[in-house]
Amino acid sequence: MQPDIDLRLLAPEIALSVTILIVLVADTFLPKERKRWSMFIGLAGVLIALGFVIGLAGESASTLGGAFVIGGPVLPIKGFFLLVGAATLVMSLRYVEDEISYQGEYYFLLLCSLLGCLFMPSARDLITLFIAIELVSAPVFLMAAFRKKELKSNEAGLKFFIFGVLSSAVMLYGMSLVYGLTGVTNVGQINETFANGSLGTSPAALAAVLMVAVGFGFKVSAVPFHFWAPDTYEGAPLPVVAFLSVASKAAGFVGLAIVMGGAFLSLAEFWTPIFAVLSILTMTLGNLVALQQKQLVRLMAYSSIAQAGYILLPFALTDPNGSLNEQIVLSIFVYVFIYAVMNLGLFAVIIGMDREAPDQKIADYSGLLKRSPAFAMAMVAFLISLAGIPPLAGFWAKFFVFKVAIEAGGAGPALAAAMVVNSVIGLYYYLAVAKQVVLREGDQTPVRIPPSIAAVVGVAGALILVVGVYPDLFAQFLN
C-alpha cells in the first residue's frame, strides 16, 4: 500500500525544491553580468520556505508512513538551517563573483545541500535519514573543489569525496544490518525490537551500531574520522567552509541524535562509553593541534573538531530510562545553535578579509583594530565567545553541557573536568588570535567591508550578546 502523503507538511521542502529548479533554469538564460541574480532567487526561496516553517508552528503530525514527522524540536531546527542557508548565500555574493566562474551551479549545489539539511530533523526512517545525510554531503563534495585552477581546492574536494564515500558505505552497511536483524526501518520500531528480547545484545546488532556511529562520526569530524577536515577547510571556497562547519556539521549531529537517541536508545549501555572516549579524544586532539597552527582557516578546522568533542559529550550521558534525557538533547541543540552563530560570524569576518589576507595567515590580521575597529571588535567577540568566556553566548553553550554532565553522575563529572581542561587549552589559541588583532602592529590600510558581510557580522554579533545576557529566553524557545 502507498503511504498517505500530506503535502502541507512538506511545504518548506517543496518550496526549496522549486527554488532549486528555478535557479538551475534561470542560470541558463542569465547573461554573465547578471549571474549574481541566482543568489537573490535562492535567498527569496529560502525565505519563502522559512515562512512555511513558521506557518506550521504548533503542528505535530507525520506523513510518508511515519518516515517524515513535524513536531517537537523539528520546526525550530528547520528554521535554524534556513537561517544558516540565508546567511551563507549573503556571505557568498562577493566571494563567488571574485573567485568562482560558475555562479549558478554554485548556488544550485548549495541549495541542494540545504534541502538535505531541511529533511534531516524530520527523518524518522533509516531510508529517509540516509537520503537526507547524502543530500547534505554530495553537493559539498563538488563545492569543495569549485576553484578548479587551484591545487589545494582540488585536493580538498578529492579528500572530502574519498573519505565521505567510505563513511557512507560503512554507515549504509550498518543500516542494512539493522534492517536484516529487525525487518523494519522505522526508528521507533527498531528501538522497540531491540528493547524487547535478546536481539540487541547480538554481535551483529552491536556491529551495526558501531558502523552507523562511524558514518556519523565522519560527518561531524570526530576523532579518528577527522582527517579530511583540515585540508578541506584550507582548500575549499570560504563560504563553503562556513556552510560545512555549521550546517553540514549540525545536520550530522541532528542525524546522530535521531539514530542513537531513537533507534539505538535501548542499547545505550553499549555505546555511551564509546562516545565518552570519542568526546575526550576529539576535544583534546582538536585543541592541541590548533595550538600549532599559523593559518587561520586550519586553526578553525581544528577548533571545529574540538567543538565537536564538546557536543559529543552529552551523548555519553544518555540513559534509556534516565530523567535527564530531555535536558541532554536540549544541551546538544543549544550548543549546536550557539556554535553556529559564533562560527558563521567569524567566517564572515574571514571572508570579508579575503582580499587583504588571501593566504589567511594569522599574522595577516595584525593591527586590524586600527584598520577597521568595528570589524576587529566583532572578530574578538566571536573568538572570546568560542573560548567560552562570559558574558557572551559561548559560555552558556558550555555551561549547559557542563551542568548536565555534573547532574548525570557516574562518568559525568570526569567528562566535565576534561571539558574544563580543554576549554582552558582552547582559550590560549583563541586569545592568541585576538592578541594579533588588537595589540600587534600591521598594515595601516583601511579595510573596506562589503555591506552583505557587515550585515551577517552585525546580526551574529548581536545574537551572541543577547543570548549571553539573557540565555533563558533562548533555552525556553528550544525547550
**Domain contains 392:** yes
Q: Are 149 and 279 in contact (CB under 8 A)?
A: no
Identify whether the C-beta of residue 80 lies closer than 8 Å to the C-beta of residue 20.
Answer: no
In the prediction, which pLDDT does 16 show? 95
Cell numbers at 437, concatenated: 588583532
Please report, for residues 37, 298, 346, 437, the alpha-carbon distance to residue 451 in angstroms, rounded to integers and kept in the order given: 17, 26, 16, 21
Whole-structure pTM over 0.85, yes or no?
A: yes
Label residue 171 by pLDDT band (50, 70, 90): very high
If one counts the domains in the chain, the total is 1
pLDDT in tens, 52-109: 999 998 888 878 888 888 887 889 899 999 999 999 999 988 888 777 778 888 899 9
Give residue 395's identity as a one-letter amino acid code. F
> Could you say which DSSP state residue 445 is in?
P
Indicate the residue type of 171. M
Lowest-pLDDT choice from 88-97, 239-248, 315-324, 437-446: 437-446
Q: Who's near 112: CB < 8 A, 6+ residues apart?
A: 20, 135, 138, 139
Spatial CA neighbour of 187 closest among 68, 13, 78: 68
pLDDT value of residue 346: 92
Residue 254, pLDDT score: 93
**391: cis peptide before it, omega within 30°?**
yes
Contact 19, 42 (CB under 8 A): yes
12 lies in some domain: no
- Does residue 4 sit within a domain? no
The answer to whether residue 14 scores a pLDDT higher than 90 is yes
CA distance 430 to 435: 9
Query: Is 324 among the domain residues?
Result: yes
Give the number of other Cβ atoms within 10 Å of residue 211's Cβ: 20
For residue 4, is pLDDT > 90?
A: no
Instruction: Give whole-number Cα distances, 45 to 16, 140, 235, 250, 459, in Å.
Output: 6, 20, 29, 21, 21
Residue 69 host element (H or E): strand 68-70
The reported pLDDT for the residue numbered 476 is: 67
Can you give the residue range of the structural domain that contains 385? 267-479
Is 410 within the bounds of a domain?
yes
* 123 three-state secondary structure: strand
- Report the share of the chain in percent with pLDDT over 70: 97
360-395 pLDDT, tens per residue?
Answer: 888 888 888 888 888 889 999 999 999 988 888 889
What is the Rg, in whole angstroms, of the alpha carbon atoms belonging to the chain? Answer: 22
Would you call 4 helix, strand, or coil by DSSP? coil
- 19 belongs to a structural domain: no
In a domain, 385, yes or no: yes
Does 434 map to a domain?
yes
